[in-house]
């Protein structure tokens, strides 16, 4: 996964860079890695950290949304998806969080204020939903369809021109 913000390239995958799992930060101006101040993503027991999606939203300035397979970012609990503040390199959980693994992220709404995550996901209350929506404005997660309506895991999600009523999901 790749994302560019200002003069910085964010590189995600199943990798280790300067002691940081899953995510590398490369300064394009200096042409060098810049992992300083970045707390590493941590794997769940018996698995590896894998970052599958790196995205930005115009509704959340100075932030990279990091998603994939991981349990936390340092001491911050943020299973499968986290916000990374690009200025401070600090991590934060999205609302009450989710459980599982995220394969893909897309945005809806006129200002990208709705984040759609797909994968093998359960909401924090245990509701299984292979596609979930996070509302950036009110900091809440909700299921998009049920696990029986959208069996998973869902490996890709797309939103038709920001229209949060027109969501496409694909998977196995």
Q: What is the pLDDT of residues 88-109, one digit of tens each?
A: 999 999 999 999 999 999 999 9
Q: Residue 34 is encoded by which pair of tokens?
A: 């810049």
pLDDT on residue 152: 86
Q: What is the pLDDT of residues 34-47, one digit of tens each?
A: 999 999 999 988 89
pLDDT range class, residue 2, cuts 50, 70, 90: very high
Q: Answer yes or no: is pLDDT of 32 > 90.
A: yes
The Cα 144–Cα 84 span in angstroms is 25
pLDDT on residue 146: 87
Overall size of the chain counted in residues? 172
What is the three-state SS of the chain?
A: CEEEECCEEEEEEEEEECCEEEEEEEECCCCEECCCCCCCEECCCCCCCEEEEEEEECCEEEEEEEEEECCEECCEECCCEEEEECCCCCEEECCCCEEEEEEEEEEECCCCCEEEEEEEEEECCCCECCEEEEECCCCEEEECCCCCCCCCCEEEEEEHHHCCCCEEEEEC
Give, in order, the Cα–Cα distances in Å from 52 to each of 41, 73, 77: 13, 15, 18
pLDDT on residue 147: 87
Q: What is the pLDDT of residues 122-143, one digit of tens each?
A: 999 999 999 999 999 999 999 9
pLDDT on residue 18: 85
Count other Cβ atoms within 10 Å, centred on residue 49.
24
């Amino acid at each position: 996964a790749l994302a560019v913000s200002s003069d910085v390239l964010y590189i995600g995958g199943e990798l280790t860079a300067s002691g940081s799992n899953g995510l590398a930060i490369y300064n394009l101006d200096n042409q060098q890695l810049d992992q300083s101040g970045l707390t590493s993503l941590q794997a769940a027991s018996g698995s590896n950290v894998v970052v599958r999606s790196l995205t930005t939203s115009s509704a959340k300035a100075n932030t990279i949304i990091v998603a994939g397979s991981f349990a936390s970012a340092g001491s911050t609990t943020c299973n499968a998806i986290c916000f990374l503040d690009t200025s401070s390199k600090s991590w934060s959980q999205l609302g009450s969080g989710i459980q599982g693994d995220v394969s893909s992220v897309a945005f809806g709404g006129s200002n990208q204020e709705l984040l759609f995550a797909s994968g093998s996901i359960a909401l924090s209350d245990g509701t299984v939903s292979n596609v979930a929506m996070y509302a950036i404005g009110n900091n809440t997660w909700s299921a998009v369809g049920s696990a029986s309506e959208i069996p998973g895991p869902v490996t890709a999600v797309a939103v038709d021109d920001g229209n949060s009523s027109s969501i496409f999901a694909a998977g196995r």
